[in-house]
Structure 1
Amino acid sequence: MDSSQRVTVVGGGLAGLAAAITAAESGVPVTLYEGHRTLGGRARTSEGPYLTNEGPHALYRHGPHWAWLRHRGLLDPMASSPPREVPRIRFHRGGVLRRTPPPGLIALSRRGVGRAPADIDFMTWATATAGRETARAAAHYVAVALFHHDPGALSAAFVQERLRRAAAFPPEARFPVGGWGRLVDRMAGRATELGVRIETAARIDALPGHSAQDAPVIVATSLEAARRLLKDDGLSWTGGRTALLDLALRTDRAGRRNRTVRKRERTDEHGPLFVSDLDAPGWLERFTAHDPTLAPAGEQLLQGQFPIGPGQSRADGVARGEHLLDLGFPGWRERVVWRCESLATGRTGAVDPPGTTWRDRPRIDRGDGVYLAGDQVAAPGVLSEVSFNSGIEAATLAVRRLGRRERQGLDLKGA
């Protein structure tokens, strides 16, 4: 098959790998270019001893991406929260840590309240449904799946879908054992088995000579990179801005054992499983509870995300995180063995303002055989699901285009 029948994928994150696998499974030659020396995008896992990603990561079950991965044997091994850890969740409300959220928050996440509309903001709809305090707590809780400083100002339908998924019980969240890099490796292995040619450290600055007659190209990058590559100023969408805090702490066994507390109040030496900030958007989670391999023995890995507004700095978000640490992990400063802070801007997925849905985001089919994939494009899903779904759809359209061209060529020969 000549080069005009090859699919080119630019970007080796989850969207690009999903696109490459989908196209190659149709028997089409595929070349994937990744600008970094390793694949994965934001799912890239840091090199040890602390296996972190760009902020807290979770893969939710029940979406079509889950079935897609499972069908190809790409999920295992996956971890979930051990049952013994579930009682150790905490909610920051009214300046203190509590064991339970407001009762109305759980009720608001259930389907019995009805489907929220897309044309008004979540805070308005939730206040009318459950009262202002419950609405505020729910908006802050769901920030775990939004990375946005003001979830209540977003589309009610958009936020409610994420609230239902994030508050589901048993929890939907799953975690690749050994870090997300292991999932990326399995996907890359599948692509290689299918004959995909993968070139890393290969930056693509333009689509040279591309026209309506050229082979399909799938641009699976951030919208900012796609905007430059395609020279299309219309490629933009609203995202979040979030302070990220990663910590490794020594396990404080002796200190916990020497405390005199009532049995029903006692937690183990590791601290809470997670702390959800209901006074402001924020989330702090102990990821070694799910997967102890993420840190060396005798240490625990915590990752947190604290969305910040336009006038706030990374330090403002980190300060909120440190306050939660003071409450949930007393003496944590003396136990720090590693620490990392960063700021994620426009790299945390799309958020839909009132009056919009995922269908209003930049479309996948850009015309002339160019397709867009990533976490801010017109595809459904929560968190990384948008990347999977858009990559699969982009590849399906690209292969379909090649099929049309091949049929047209046969028709011309017959004529």
Structure 2
Amino acid sequence: MITVVGGGLAGLTAAVACAEAGARVTLHEAHRTLGGRGRATPAPYVAHEGAHVFYADGPHWRWLVRRGLTGPLGRPSVRDSIKISFLLDGRLHRLPPQGFLRMMLLDRGRDAPVDRDFFSWASARYGERTARIAANAISVVTFDADTGRLSAAFVWELLRRVFATKPPAVRWVIGGWQAVIGRLADRARALGVRIELGSRITELSGGPTIVATELASARRLLGDDTLHWESGDCVLLDLAVRADPRDRFLCWDLDDGGFHESYSMQDPTVAPAGESLFQLDLPVRAGEGRAAAQQRLAAFADHTVPGWRERVTWQRTGSAKGRTGALDLPGAGPGATGRRSTAATGSSWPATWSPHRACAARSP
């Protein structure tokens, strides 16, 4: 008998994998609904709590595809797909600056050192301005306002994956990750997994247990104080407005590290007809309060959703701290800051693209 604690993507995946191997599985979820960081708000505005896209070049996607669990995919129209911008020096641009383009197009095969911070390494090769722009461009992944302080190898890998890929790897699932959660739960139940909702586990039983929760919860449950990692901190703004052709599909804030994305241009099911749904995020600076960060985020929305205050039909604000997976500091080695203990494994591909979960296994 295997016990799984946590009913998000990680926990459901573990339960399905164990059941497929012939094990009897019980999954416990403290909330009344499944989903974890894959949860979304109910219709008519389906805004995600956390990540909302998959990358097709990763193992998570291939695992889902093999089992037919991805469901139908969305994509923006040709008209909307070109509404991509980069905010730099307070102005929107159709392309990033030439220095950044040269970095990603000409040097994408280069390796970066583990033991140097990204900003100093990139500054020596490409200049301080390009290094700062590159760090801010990938802050959507790290949720960190000073991504340049992280390991050069860590940041460089993320940059190449987002900006130097050949075929587009991003996959938008119709209905978002919540729809995938539903298919995973159906698959688990069909395999005989017993799913207990509203079941908060406070201590481990004697049998084999998989803990698939946020890191702080795993640390308390496992009684393992080594389960700490460097992680991100950002504020969020979900925004529904009456549709306007001036609205952006994607926008990278190269000044402050923010990111803007439409939910509805590629998946019209997530908002009422005639409306557009967006999420914007912005990393919180050291010593900055949430209110000040939200003000900066609203100013970013002024660029990407012009006149949104007069057009808004629904909105909510939020924050995400400690939910991005491990961020590697110089010299730490791949993923070391989040994987100092063999009891826990974390993804070094955090933020938008990962389940943001710690997964640990214990048996007597």
Structure 2: unaligned runs, 5 residues or longer: none
Matched, 1:313 2:289: yes
Matched, 1:125 2:121: yes
Give me the TM-score of the superposition, normalised by structure 2: 0.92
CA contact (8 A) 1:274 1:285 kept: yes
Which of 142, 155, 159 matches 2:155?
Answer: 159
CA contact (8 A) 2:143 2:351 kept: no
Distance 1:10 1:384, change over 3 A: farther
Partner AA of 2:25 in structure 1: V
Distance 1:191 1:237, change over 3 A: same
Could you tell me how far apart the structure 1 residues matched to 2:263 and 2:353 are?
21
Matched, 1:134 2:110: no
2:69 alignment partner in structure 1:
74
2:197 alignment partner in structure 1:
200
2:210 alignment partner in structure 1:
218
* CA apart distance, 1:182: 0.1
CA contact (8 A) 1:49 1:295 kept: yes
CA contact (8 A) 2:77 2:265 kept: yes
Give the 5 Å matches for 1:12-411. 12-55=7-50, 57-110=52-105, 112-167=108-163, 168-208=165-205, 210=206, 215-252=207-244, 269-356=245-332, 357-362=334-339, 365-366=342-343, 372=344, 377-379=345-347, 381-383=349-351, 387=355
Could you tell me how far apart the structure 2 residues matched to 1:160 and 1:83 are?
30
Can you list the C-alpha shifts for 1:163-199, whole angstroms capped at 9, x where unaligned?
1222235432222211210011111111111111111
Can you list the C-alpha shifts for 1:337-361, whole angstroms capped at 9, x where unaligned?
1110112111232211111221452
1:10 alignment partner in structure 2:
5
Distance 1:83 1:163, change over 3 A: farther
Could you tell me how far apart the structure 1 residues matched to 2:97 and 2:167 are?
18
Partner AA of 1:358 in structure 2: G
Can you list the C-alpha shifts for 1:8-44, whole angstroms capped at 9, x where unaligned?
1100111111111111111011111000111110111
Could you tell me how far apart the structure 1 residues matched to 2:354 and 2:171 are?
17
* CA apart distance, 1:385: 6.3
CA contact (8 A) 2:37 2:51 kept: no
CA radius of gyration, larger in: 1
Could you tell me how far apart the structure 2 residues matched to 1:23 and 1:70 are?
18
Give me the TM-score of the superposition, normalised by structure 1: 0.81
For these two proteins, the number of residue pairs brought into alignment is 361
Partner AA of 2:209 in structure 1: V
* CA apart distance, 1:363: 5.8
Could you tell me how far apart the structure 2 residues matched to 1:86 and 1:128 are?
35
Q: Secondary structure at the match of 2:138?
A: helix
Q: Secondary structure at the match of 1:20?
A: helix
* CA apart distance, 1:390: 7.6
Distance 1:15 1:386, change over 3 A: same
Report the structure, 1 or 2, having the larger helix content: 1
Partner AA of 1:78 in structure 2: L
Partner AA of 1:190 in structure 2: R
Distance 1:360 1:350, change over 3 A: closer
Provide the alpha-carbon RMSD of the alignment.
Answer: 2.3
Distance 1:238 1:281, change over 3 A: same
Can you list the C-alpha shifts for 1:241-284, whole angstroms capped at 9, x where unaligned?
110101110124xxxxxxxxxxxxxxxx2511122100111011
* CA apart distance, 1:324: 2.1
CA contact (8 A) 1:55 1:305 kept: no
The sequence identity of aligned pairs, in percent, is 45
Q: Secondary structure at the match of 2:264?
A: helix
Could you tell me how far apart the structure 2 residues matched to 1:364 and 1:79 are?
39
Partner AA of 1:93 in structure 2: L
Could you tell me how far apart the structure 2 residues matched to 1:38 and 1:151 are?
34
Distance 1:390 1:204, change over 3 A: closer
